[in-house]
Chains A and B, each alone.
Chain A
Amino acid sequence: MEFKTVLSFCPYCGCGCGLLLEVLDGKIVGTLPSKTSPVNQGKLCVKGWNVHEFVISPNRLIKPMVRKNDTLENSSWDEALHLSATRLKEIKEKYGPDSIGVLTSAKCTNEENYLLQKFTRAAIGTNNIDHCARL
């Protein structure tokens, strides 16, 4: 038996509200605002309060899928990455790099976001990079 709260940060926007994930026997069962976080001082918005829900959501994408004949089918990482790279290259050659845009996420880490903008600018060659936190 184990019940603990784990200090973490809200992944929904750039504010960085401190929250506590309630963990019962290794499973996240709830979220609480952290009272010791200087950012949110024991308060959260409606999104932060529900952080634990997407972690365990059955709708969460946890493996690569490729659209074949208009339906999404399970695939391997190799197949999915190969297809993405091939198609991105084809589109870039045919229509130019500015025909591609990349959308990243506030749910990613700073480092992941850095890598994605680097990939977009250096590998694809466009400044078309944005993120969901602009909402």
Chain B
Amino acid sequence: MSTKIKETVQALLIEGKIKGFLGLREANGNIMPHLFCDPKELDSLSLGDWKKSGDTRYPLNQMMIQLAIAYPNETFAILVRGCDERGLRELFKWKQLAEDKVILIGIGCPDELARACECEKPFPDSLLEGPQGTRVENEKVASIDKMGLEERFTFWEAEFNRCIKCLGCRNICPMCFCNECTLEEANLIDTGAVPPANPTFHLVRAIHMVGRCIDCGLCEEACPADIPLRTLYKKVGEIISKEFGYKTGFSVDEKSPFNIIEVK
């Protein structure tokens, strides 16, 4: 399923419109991120499907920020799914990337992946290849919402208590671009213990995901303690959508919920 993508990227490279294409490469049975600068390398291009569809997704947007810092005048193309495209829109808004320096090469996710992610929009607008799937209902959030307040609190407390504070959720997050992080500030949060301050640690991160989390799910995939982080941040997204009418990553022009002040 990558013929069209290969052809498009090849043309962009040959015409000199991009310096490189940030995507995934398959080598010796492994799939890993790679910057394709030579069209000949494109034979090893992978879309991130290893044993299951989309099971080897990596935070490419995060690497794009590093490339843009090193080469601010160059234009790059990047492989995006629906979530990655939403992420790029927020990164443009937050001035972490320049919109005119990034060309989106979009792939749509198959139903299997869209269902596993309970994805709001499993394809990018820049769709080049792959299906244009439909929205999947948010059943995991709904099942937790059904619990009573006390039961819900006990549930999350038990989940958070398994945390080994690897900070993998933050490290892999393509939307965590701050130079200083609250989670490491002893003045703001109790540090030096495992599990970390419960529930402060996880709720601080959840609140920082307001207007940032684009629901890619990489955090949950990286969690060695299997904490359902994605469900937590999905709930954050749901509240922001309901209270502020803001859908993270759906528009570059829409103002961040942090800028919406309602005077009653």
Taking the complex as formed, is B56 at the interface, i.e. its CB lies under 8 A from any CB of chain A? yes
* B35 touching A33, Cβ below 8 Å: no
* A3 touching B35, Cβ below 8 Å: yes
A46 to chain B, nearest CB (A): 5
Which chain B positions have C-beta within 8 A of A7?
27-28, 30, 32
* B66 touching A32, Cβ below 8 Å: no
Which chain A positions have C-beta within 8 A of B165?
46
Closest to A6 in B: B32
State in angstroms the CA–CA spacing of A1 and B13 once bound together.
14
Taking the complex as formed, is A61 at the interface, i.e. its CB lies under 8 A from any CB of chain B? no
* B58 touching A32, Cβ below 8 Å: yes
Taking the complex as formed, is B114 at the interface, i.e. its CB lies under 8 A from any CB of chain A? no
* A44 touching B58, Cβ below 8 Å: no
Q: Please give the number of chain B residues whose Cβ is less than 8 angstroms from any Cβ of chain A in the complex.
A: 36
Which chain B positions have C-beta within 8 A of A45?
164, 166, 224
Q: Which of B27, B55, B66, B222 contacts A22 (CB 8 A)?
A: B66
Q: Which of B118-126, B167-175, B199-207, B246-254 contacts A (4 or more CB under 8 A)?
A: B167-175
Q: Which of B28, B34, B168 contacts A49 (CB 8 A)?
A: B168
Residues 41-82 of A at the B interface (beta carbon under 8 Å): 42-46, 48-49
Return the CB mask of A97-121 against B: 1 if under 8 Å, else 0.
0000000000000000000000000
Closest to B22 in A: A3
Which chain A positions have C-beta within 8 A of B171?
49
* B56 touching A46, Cβ below 8 Å: no
Contact A44 B33, CB 8 Å, known A1-B20, A35-B56? no
Q: How large is the interface on A (under 10, 10 to 19, 20 to 34, 35 or more residues)?
A: 20 to 34
Which chain A positions have C-beta within 8 A of B210?
none
Which chain A positions have C-beta within 8 A of B50?
35-36
* B166 touching A49, Cβ below 8 Å: yes
Contact A2 B35, CB 8 Å, known A35-B58, A45-B164, A46-B166? yes
Q: Which of A23-31, A83-91, A124-132 contacts B (4 or more CB under 8 A)?
A: A23-31
Return the CB mask of B214-242 against A: 1 if under 8 Å, else 0.
00000001111000000000000000000
Which residues of B come within 8 Å of A, CB atoms?
Answer: 19-20, 22, 27-35, 37, 50, 55-59, 63, 66-67, 70-71, 74, 164-168, 171-172, 221-224
Q: List 9 A-B contacts (CB under 8 A).
A: A1-B19, A5-B32, A7-B28, A22-B33, A32-B172, A35-B57, A35-B58, A42-B221, A46-B166
